[in-house]
Chain A
Amino acid sequence: MFETIKKLAGSFGVSGSEEQIREVIKNEIEGKVDEIKVDALGNLIAVKKGSGKKIMVAAHMDEIGVMATYIDEKGFIRFSNIGWVWQYFALGQRVMFKNGTVGAVFFEQKLKEIKNLKLSNMYIDIGAKSREEAEKKVKIGDTACFAGDTVMEGTMVISKALDDRSGCAVMVKTIQDMPDTDNEIYFVFTVQEELGLRGAKTSAFGIMPDIAIALDVTDTGDTPECELMEVKCGGGPAIKIKDRSFIAHPEVRRLMEESAKKIGIPYQFEIMEQGGTDAGAIHVTGGGVPSGAISIPCRYVHSPVETADITDIENCVKLLRQCLKDA
């Protein structure tokens, strides 16, 4: 499992530029499903045929990042955010462009008070001496993700982009050991979730599933002096009750809870005050789709050091497999 997460989380795939991660995932699942396709927006859809219910499982393959918007005559790059990037998380970090160019993110030094820090007074230094030199490596509109290794300490994985490559890893593992069921399953690795659940909306329209399950990370309430939240790392998969984008369908929620009980894994319930996930776009598609979500508890979401417990991720695979059989 760790190797799969490392491979997926280490790949490049800022929202709108998912080409690389899509290829990596495609290679992992090739031959394990009946059909693989890529739609107009770039969603990767893997289908296991069957005569039972049509189930859509979605995890987004995009990650947050930054986009080069201007290069000055000394070769420094100004940027804007792709998805929610907190300026304080970006400060002093390394970012990596798709072609492998690494840059340091820093801020205009005359800024007196750190509370005035904004992305617009920060820049990326890729070591270029001039605009011309910089433009050989990076052009306006190119995107970059946080750079850094995926490591494991104890049972905890620390990496960029666990949001939502850990969810993708759960899907990949499920596909590689496909559950025995008559249900027709559409595994969708969606694009542009971080920009507003965009890929999920169009892929759900094409599939018109009977049930949908999203796999994504959730915030936790288990770190020093944090906001109160009833989710902790190591507590098992979090069965979503609600977030800002949707309220889980009670039948789907019950299916998840009963499946978890049947296989005897720990689980917890999640109510997330901020943020949403692909199910938010899927559940209002067509005449409506009963939808739920299985979440991976993850600390420091949208930072370069997202941290999650690998036992939770492994249990998510078990839970998803069982749900697909029981649905």
Chain B
Amino acid sequence: MFLLKNLTQIDGVSGNEEKVREYIKKEIEAVVDEIKVDKVGNLIAYKKGTGSKFKLLLSAHMDEVGFIVTGYSEDGMVKFRPVGGIDQRVLPGKRVLIGDKGVKGVIGCKPIHLQEKDERDKTIKIKSMYIDIGCDKRDEAEKLAGLGEYIAFDSKYTELGPDCVKAKALDDRAGCAIIMELLKNRYEFDLYASFTVQEEIGLRGSEVVGYQINPDVAFVIEGTTCSDVPGAKEHEYSTELGKGPVITVMDRTAYADKELVNFIYDTARKHKIDVQFKKTATGGNDAGKIQRSRCGVKVASISVPCRYIHSPSSVMSMKDYEGCKRLMEAVLTELESNNDYSLKILNGGNCNV
């Protein structure tokens, strides 16, 4: 899986997606008809359809959660704040890379033997953590890790067990990789692909993508939470690893088009691909912004479950990844031949402006 491996080894903390963008651009340039980078940094590719009946958008975000350098202590430690939603309990002891130079550091905090009893029982706050980059003076640290530099988790792509992989940024490089593979095909409809920026800090890139492309229908491909782990009750599992790609009915940002959800589910059944529905309605993704751009867009989200999402060590099943890719291939192919649903897409799309 070289695509996924390469993508998860690149750093692209929200607002600093250049390296991911360059990689994707280089890989897909040859197979698409047009490619451009918009003003906020989204990468948008276009592949003309053989029939051009409607415009279909595939979207995944390039950015990942991370941190930003916010200050220094006099003894050369780097102070930082999170970029995107991060569980601060997973941080102490983790390795990070700072900025384009990739300055190595580790996240530190007050050691356990110096903590008072009540401190030990409480979660250590990000505010009281720091990054140790091996400097002992403020000005040395400032030179190595400039103010405002991005900070990414330092984590290797590793295969686990028979089917799983561990990496950072599977959310949403998994989606990027799947779309890159789908772009090899040409369809009857006009195909757009957007690799968006700044999803993790408020779905920002996708807001302008929806407006620019004005698609008739859009699919957001995501890495999503997976909570099938000890300590969680079965009814609290959002998704389960190894049970196939995930269809989201609703989350905090979007209520997927119901007919589209049914169409995806029926396609999965027809092609004997395991699928699961996300059992929680929390979280959100680019679908929310795309759905509400201009006169509205029919959207659905298809995701790959990722345990320990937003941490340096997310775990994903390659079976789910492959299932997600196969499902999307099947859905796009069915959309060409299934005129009933294609007509519905067209009928809903009459915008006055």
Residues of chain A touching chain B, judged by Cβ–Cβ distance below 8 Å, are 15-17, 37-41, 43, 67, 69-70, 72, 78, 80-82, 120, 140-141, 192, 195, 198-199, 201-203, 205-208
Q: Is B250 an interface residue (CB 8 A)?
A: yes
B281 engages A81 (CB within 8 Å):
yes
Which residues of chain A have C-beta atoms less than 8 A from B125's C-beta?
none
Given A80-B280, A141-B250, 5 further pairs, Cβ under 8 A: A15-B255, A70-B234, A70-B237, A78-B235, A78-B279
27 contacts between A and B (CB under 8 A): A16-B255, A40-B296, A40-B297, A40-B348, A40-B349, A41-B291, A43-B296, A67-B250, A69-B279, A69-B281, A70-B234, A70-B237, A72-B235, A140-B277, A141-B249, A141-B261, A141-B277, A195-B250, A198-B291, A198-B292, A201-B292, A203-B296, A205-B351, A205-B353, A206-B296, A206-B351, A208-B352
Minimum CB–CB distance for B310 against chain A, Å? 21
A-B pairs, top 10 by smallest CB distance, nearest first, are A202-B296, A16-B255, A141-B249, A41-B296, A40-B348, A40-B296, A206-B295, A70-B235, A78-B235, A80-B281
* Assembly CA distance A198 to B295 (angstroms): 11
A205 engages B281 (CB within 8 Å):
no
Q: Is B294 an interface residue (CB 8 A)?
A: yes
B352 engages A202 (CB within 8 Å):
no
Q: Is B258 an interface residue (CB 8 A)?
A: yes
* Assembly CA distance A207 to B351 (angstroms): 9
* Assembly CA distance A112 to B137 (angstroms): 55
Interface residues of A: mostly helix, strand, loop or mixed? Answer: mixed
Taking CB as reference atom, which chain A residue is nearest B349? A40
Which residues of chain B have C-beta atoms less than 8 A from A202's C-beta?
292-296
Which residues of chain A have C-beta atoms less than 8 A from B236's C-beta?
120
Which residues of chain B have C-beta atoms less than 8 A from A206's C-beta?
294-296, 351-353
Taking CB as reference atom, which chain A residue is nearest B277? A140
Minimum CB–CB distance for B166 against chain A, Å? 28
Q: Which of B86-137 contact A (CB under 8 A)?
A: none
B348 engages A38 (CB within 8 Å):
yes
* Assembly CA distance A15 to B234 (angstroms): 26
Q: Is B298 an interface residue (CB 8 A)?
A: yes
Out of B255, B350, B351, B352, name the residue touching A192 (CB < 8 Å): B255
Minimum CB–CB distance for B103 against chain A, Å? 41
* Assembly CA distance A158 to B35 (angstroms): 58
Taking CB as reference atom, which chain B residue is nearest A192? B255
Interface residues of B: mostly helix, strand, loop or mixed? Answer: loop
Residues of chain B touching chain A, judged by Cβ–Cβ distance below 8 Å, are 216, 234-237, 249-250, 255, 258, 261, 277, 279-281, 291-298, 348-353
* Assembly CA distance A37 to B350 (angstroms): 10
Which residues of chain A have C-beta atoms less than 8 A from B237's C-beta?
70
* Assembly CA distance A13 to B298 (angstroms): 19
Given A141-B249, A205-B353: A70 touches B296 (CB 8 Å cut-off): no
* Assembly CA distance A120 to B295 (angstroms): 35
A205 engages B294 (CB within 8 Å):
yes
Taking CB as reference atom, which chain B residue is nearest A199? B296
Which residues of chain A have C-beta atoms less than 8 A from B348's C-beta?
38-40
From A16, A39, A69, A208, name the one whose CB has the most chain B CB atoms within 10 angstroms. Answer: A69
* Assembly CA distance A228 to B216 (angstroms): 47
* Assembly CA distance A266 to B274 (angstroms): 61
Which residues of chain A have C-beta atoms less than 8 A from B235's C-beta?
69-70, 72, 78
Minimum CB–CB distance for A78 against chain B, Å? 4
Which residues of chain B have C-beta atoms less than 8 A from A195's C-beta?
250, 255
Which residues of chain A have C-beta atoms less than 8 A from B351's C-beta?
39-40, 205-206
Taking CB as reference atom, which chain A residue is nearest B348? A40
Which residues of chain B have C-beta atoms less than 8 A from A70's C-beta?
234-235, 237, 279
Minimum CB–CB distance for A119 against chain B, Å? 10
* Assembly CA distance A201 to B253 (angstroms): 14
* Assembly CA distance A199 to B352 (angstroms): 15
Given A40-B348, A67-B249, A67-B250: A203 touches B295 (CB 8 Å cut-off): yes
Which residues of chain A have C-beta atoms less than 8 A from B294's C-beta?
202, 205-206
Minimum CB–CB distance for B330 against chain A, Å? 20
Minimum CB–CB distance for B168 against chain A, Å? 29
A40 engages B298 (CB within 8 Å):
yes
Minimum CB–CB distance for A205 against chain B, Å? 5
* Assembly CA distance A17 to B297 (angstroms): 16
Out of A16, A37, A205, name the residue touching B250 (CB < 8 Å): A16
Given A81-B281, A208-B353: A39 touches B296 (CB 8 Å cut-off): yes
Which residues of chain B have C-beta atoms less than 8 A from A39's C-beta?
295-296, 348, 350-351
Taking CB as reference atom, which chain B residue is nearest A140? B277
* Assembly CA distance A67 to B258 (angstroms): 13
* Assembly CA distance A96 to B249 (angstroms): 19
Which residues of chain A have C-beta atoms less than 8 A from B234's C-beta?
70, 72
Minimum CB–CB distance for A249 against chain B, Å? 22
Which residues of chain A have C-beta atoms less than 8 A from B353's C-beta?
205-206, 208
* Assembly CA distance A78 to B292 (angstroms): 29
Which residues of chain B have C-beta atoms less than 8 A from A141's C-beta?
249-250, 261, 277
Minimum CB–CB distance for A38 against chain B, Å? 7
Which residues of chain A have C-beta atoms less than 8 A from B280's C-beta?
69, 80
Minimum CB–CB distance for A18 against chain B, Å? 10
Which residues of chain A have C-beta atoms less than 8 A from B261's C-beta?
141
Out of A15, A81, A82, A205, name the residue touching B295 (CB < 8 Å): A205
Taking CB as reference atom, which chain B residue is nearest A17? B258
From B296, B349, B350, name the one whose CB has the most chain A CB atoms within 10 angstroms. Answer: B296
Which residues of chain B have C-beta atoms less than 8 A from A207's C-beta?
352
Which residues of chain B have C-beta atoms less than 8 A from A37's C-beta?
350
* Assembly CA distance A310 to B296 (angstroms): 35
* Assembly CA distance A43 to B261 (angstroms): 19
Minimum CB–CB distance for A77 against chain B, Å? 9
* Assembly CA distance A202 to B250 (angstroms): 18
* Assembly CA distance A226 to B291 (angstroms): 39
* Assembly CA distance A186 to B286 (angstroms): 30
Taking CB as reference atom, which chain A residue is nearest B344? A40
B296 engages A82 (CB within 8 Å):
no
From A38, A70, A141, A198, name the one whose CB has the most chain B CB atoms within 10 angstroms. Answer: A141
Minimum CB–CB distance for A88 against chain B, Å? 20
Which residues of chain B have C-beta atoms less than 8 A from A81's C-beta?
281
